[in-house]
């Protein structure tokens, strides 16, 4: 069954690939991004032309996850044009590279605003209509970094931890209202996204210089990441888009709570399995076990 899908951060990378994949699968896709008539006009035009050329229902909508008004307006546009919103793919995000001490509080505040608080803004815009219909799907593009915690990505990892926690606790409450949650956890990718090329650096250059002896390690961070991939594996983020497409094709109530797409073989699945087991036992002991499963027409 086709769905009406909103994807955040769809100008490039995983969001862009996911918009293309879901549209090709027959869904009505609203690829959202900032400045669709400015800095992202080329990306917006490419998606619209793809839709026209291939006969996809692929649309573009302005959405800045750092603005509640923008999120509200984007969802209002979708509801007006399509009549409903079935799925949100939370993908918008940014990467910081550097030494933790050298990031100012303002640096970290900005990153949390994009990577974590942006999710809350979009959920607040999207959930009222989903709650009214008592159905919907929230798909979060998380990160394996919230398990493996690599060096030199301190604020990014912290923001991804926060986003993951927010997704989990939101899931308890929306499960009861028929709204399903999946957290897709991509491993590292060094091509096919703008993450590494567009990564921001720490704002305090003096504190950065204080860690100069670690510069050789920081400078080979991307190469070190690439070394994790087996030589015969095509580590491309299109695999994340394909996994999101597969998950959305599953019947409501059967989608996995987590899915890992990782070519670095970090073993994140083992940690997820144990964490989920402990979490479920704890919540059941509290007497809140009914919050662990989405309530659909099947149950």
Q: Which long-range contacts (CB under 8 A, 24 or more apart) does 215-219 make?
A: 217/151, 217/152, 218/97, 218/98, 218/99, 218/152
Flag whether 215 is in a domain. yes
What are the tokens at 280? 């479920």
Structure tokens at 119: 């999710």
Whether 77 contacts 61, CB under 8 Å: yes
Question: 């409450």: which residue's tokens?
Answer: 173
| Residue 133 included in any domain | yes
Bridge partners for 35 per DSSP: none
Distance CA(269)–CA(276), nearest Å, equals 10
Question: Looking at the domain assignment, is residue 76 inside a domain?
Answer: yes
The pLDDT assigned to 69 comes to: 98
Residue 18's alpha-carbon distances to 22, 104, 110, 248, 292, in angstroms, are: 6, 33, 25, 11, 27
Which stretches does DSSP call E strand in the chain? 4-7, 28-33, 58-62, 87-90, 96-97, 136-141, 179-186, 200-201, 258-261
Tokens encoding 230: 């087996």
Q: What is the count of structural domains for the chain?
A: 1
Residue 65 domain flag: yes
Q: What is the pLDDT of residue 230?
A: 87
Residue 297 belongs to a domain: no
Token couple for 231: 């030589």
Edge-first strand listing for the sheet containing 28-33: 58-62, 28-33, 4-7, 87-90, 136-141, 179-186, 258-261
CATH of the domain at 32: 3.40.50.720
| The predicted structure's pLDDT at residue 195 | 60
**What pLDDT is stored for residue 1 in this prediction?**
78
pLDDT confidence of residue 158: 97
In this predicted structure, what is the pLDDT of residue 56? 97
Q: Is residue 299 part of a domain?
A: no
pLDDT along the chain (299 residues), means of 10: 95 96 98 93 96 97 98 98 98 93 95 97 98 97 96 95 98 97 93 67 90 94 87 89 98 96 95 97 97 80
How high is the pLDDT of residue 105?
95
Domain that holds residue 63: 4-292
Task: Please state the pTM of the whole predicted model.
Answer: 0.95
């Amino acid at each position: 069954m086709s769905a009406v899908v909103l994807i955040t951060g769809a100008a490039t990378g995983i969001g862009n690939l996911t918009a293309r994949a879901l549209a090709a699968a027959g869904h009505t896709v609203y690829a959202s991004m900032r400045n669709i008539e400015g800095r992202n006009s080329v990306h917006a035009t490419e998606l619209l032309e793809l839709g026209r050329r291939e006969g996809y229902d692929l649309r573009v909508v302005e959405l800045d996850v750092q603005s509640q008004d923008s999120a509200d307006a984007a969802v209002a546009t979708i509801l007006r044009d399509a009549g409903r919103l079935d799925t949100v793919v939370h993908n918008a995000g940014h990467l910081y590279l550097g030494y933790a001490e050298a990031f100012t509080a303002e640096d970290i505040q900005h990153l949390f605003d994009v990577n974590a608080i942006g999710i809350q803004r979009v959920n607040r815009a999207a959930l009222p209509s989903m709650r009214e219909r008592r159905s919907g799907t929230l798909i979060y593009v998380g990160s394996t970094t919230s398990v493996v915690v690599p060096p030199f990505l301190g604020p990014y990892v912290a923001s991804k931890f926060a986003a993951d926690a927010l997704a989990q606790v939101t899931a308890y409450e929306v499960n009861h209202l028929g709204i399903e949650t999946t957290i897709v956890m991509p491993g590292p990718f060094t091509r096919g996204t703008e993450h590494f090329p567009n990564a921001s650096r720490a704002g305090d250059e003096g504190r950065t210089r204080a860690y100069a002896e670690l510069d050789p390690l920081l400078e080979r961070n991307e190469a070190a990441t690439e070394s994790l991939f087996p030589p015969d594996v095509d580590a491309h983020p299109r695999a994340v888009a394909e996994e999101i497409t597969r998950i959305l094709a599953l019947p409501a109530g059967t989608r996995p709570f987590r899915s890992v797409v990782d070519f670095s073989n970090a073993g994140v699945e083992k940690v997820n399995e144990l964490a989920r087991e402990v979490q479920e036992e704890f919540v059941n002991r509290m007497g809140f076990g009914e919050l662990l499963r989405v309530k659909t027409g099947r149950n």
